């Protein structure tokens, strides 16, 4: 489906040649310094920046929805310790759907359930990790912002303002990206008029894969594996020779530098482990020198892991943090598509045989 326009949308525009990204018309490079994740969620859902009072109400509503039902905490305890946090997140969101008495799908429902799930995701992710590691459950603090509250629950102590800002920016950069594999999956499930939770669960499943959101964990792991900038070149050629890919590089739409990667790189330079940053910078130089002619440059996932690492977020949680941001975009697309819903049902061009004679099993050689 490369280059295929599935529908029209007023949520997000990607200029893949120019390396620009706009949320509801606003340049994403302007948002990190001026906005907050909560404001960006409002913008994506309702199509305009909120007034002061509207933003305060919206933040309050999110904060009061952060708490998890007791049944969810019990389920967290029962999940196998070996399960990847994306698999666990998928199960918990599905269970939230079971606990919701009215899992129907209308535009109004989408926003109401969107608030609940967006607010609960940080509590789920932080406490999944804590439970798995034998640590006590940490209740959300309603007086903290979305990003600060996540770091507080995960680490058990409130973050510095710089740490809070870094995660807030990461969530803004991950909030939306047009019709990527997970958003398309969410829309496809929504188009059958299933329910909000089923659509989000399907999106989490799509995001989990290493060619999509799973790349953020793998990108960081590759820098750790390389270990020193002196080893980068040998590793780069060996990776390509063995038919593998540089994780966090390449994109279906961007054929130039991903603007989100540029912002993440600045944060990675400022906060990240200097050794990991040097390794990543050396590999990036090799990508630019040898793969740019194919339109391959580093993408959003390349530098994000170094920022998350600096914030003390364990690598196995990186893709869940991506999901925590992207729930905003998934919800926006569901709501927009429902305004003119039509079942998504493309075709496959058949290349097999037809009219074959059925051979009874006794006669088959
Ligand atoms: N490393 C090395 N070479 C690459 C990479 C990479 N990461 N990505 C693409 N290429 C090469 C391909 O080998 C191919 O070369 P060829 O023409 O000589 O065969 C050429 O670039 C075009 O690649 P395609 O596979 O056609 O590109 P496609 O649009 O299908 O793939 C994808 C996009 C899946 C993202 C790919 O670049 C990739 O696998 N990247 C690594 C995983 C990754 O970082 N995923 C995150 C994407 S962003 C996101 O989802 C948040």
Is 340 a known active-site residue?
A: no
Please state, in angstroms and rounded to a whole number, the distance separating the CA atoms of residues 297 and 257: 6
pLDDT of residue 106: 81
Please state, in angstroms and rounded to a whole number, the distance separating the CA atoms of residues 344 and 365: 42
What's the CATH number of domain 12-208+316-338, 3.40.50.300, 1.10.580.10, 1.10.10.10, 3.30.70.20?
1.10.580.10
320-344: average pLDDT: 97
Please state, in angstroms and rounded to a whole number, the distance separating the CA atoms of residues 151 and 75: 22
Question: Is the pLDDT confidence value at 107 over 80?
Answer: no
Mean pLDDT, the chain, rounded, equals: 97
DSSP 137: P
Ligand 1 pocket (Cβ < 6 Å) reads 180, 211-213, 215, 245-252, 291, 294, 296, 299-301
Is 309 a known active-site residue?
A: no
Cα-to-centroid distance, 41 and ligand 1 (Å): 29
Is 10 within 8 Å of 24 (Cβ atoms)? yes
pLDDT digits (tens, 9 = 90+) for 31-56: 999 999 999 999 999 999 999 999 99
Give the number of the atom of ligand 1 that is nearest the alpha carbon of residue 180.
50
Question: Is the pLDDT confidence value at 161 over 90?
Answer: yes
Cα-to-centroid distance, 345 and ligand 1 (Å): 26
pLDDT digits (tens, 9 = 90+) for 236-273: 999 999 999 999 999 999 999 999 999 999 999 999 99
CATH of domain 215-310: 1.10.230.10
Q: pTM for the whole thing?
A: 0.97
Give the number of the atom of ligand 1 that is nearest the alpha carbon of residue 207.
50
Q: Is 334 helix (H, G, I), strand (E, B) or coil?
A: helix
Please state, in angstroms and rounded to a whole number, the distance separating the CA atoms of residues 155 and 78: 22
Cα-Cα-Cα-Cα dihedral sign, residues 237, 239, 242, 247 = negative
The structural domains of the chain, with segments of one domain joined by +, span 12-208+316-338, 215-310
Q: Is 81 helix (H, G, I), strand (E, B) or coil?
A: coil
pLDDT digits (tens, 9 = 90+) for 278-317: 999 999 999 999 999 999 999 999 999 999 999 999 999 9
């Amino acid at each position: 489906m490369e280059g295929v326009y599935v529908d029209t949308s007023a949520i997000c525009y990607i200029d893949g040649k120019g390396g620009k990204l706009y949320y509801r018309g606003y340049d994403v490079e302007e948002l990190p310094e001026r906005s907050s994740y909560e404001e960006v969620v409002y913008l994506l859902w309702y199509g305009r920046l909120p007034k002061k009072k509207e933003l305060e109400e919206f933040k309050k509503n999110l904060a009061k929805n952060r708490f998890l039902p007791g049944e969810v905490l019990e389920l967290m305890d029962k999940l196998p310790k070996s399960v990847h946090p994306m698999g666990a997140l998928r199960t918990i969101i599905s269970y939230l759907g079971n606990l919701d008495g009215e899992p129907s799908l209308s535009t109004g429902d989408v926003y109401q359930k969107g608030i609940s799930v967006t607010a609960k995701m940080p509590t789920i992710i932080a406490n999944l990790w804590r439970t798995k590691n034998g640590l006590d459950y940490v209740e959300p603090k309603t007086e903290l912002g979305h990003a600060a509250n996540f770091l507080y629950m995960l680490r058990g102590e409130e973050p510095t303002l710089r740490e809070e800002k870094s995660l807030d920016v990461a969530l803004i950069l991950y909030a939306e990206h047009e019709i990527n594999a997970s958003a398309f999956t969410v829309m496809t499930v929504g188009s059958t008029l299933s329910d909000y939770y089923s659509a989000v669960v399907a999106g989490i499943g799509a995001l989990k894969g290493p060619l999509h959101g799973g790349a953020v964990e793998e990108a960081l792991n590759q820098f750790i594996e390389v270990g020193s900038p002196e080893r980068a070149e040998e590793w780069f050629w060996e990776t390509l020779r063995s038919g593998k890919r540089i994780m966090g590089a390449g994109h279906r739409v961007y054929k130039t530098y991903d603007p989100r990667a540029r912002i993440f790189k600045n944060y990675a330079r400022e906060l990240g482990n200097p050794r990991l940053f040097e390794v990543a910078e050396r590999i990036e130089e090799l990508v630019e020198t040898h793969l740019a002619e194919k339109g391959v440059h580093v993408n959003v996932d390349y530098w994000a892991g170094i920022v998350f690492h600096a914030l003390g977020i364990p690598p196995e949680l990186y893709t869940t943090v991506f999901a925590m941001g992207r729930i905003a975009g998934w919800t926006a697309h569901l709501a927009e598509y429902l305004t003119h819903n039509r079942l998504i049902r493309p075709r496959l061009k058949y290349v097999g045989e037809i009219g074959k004679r059925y051979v009874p099993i006794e006669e088959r050689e």
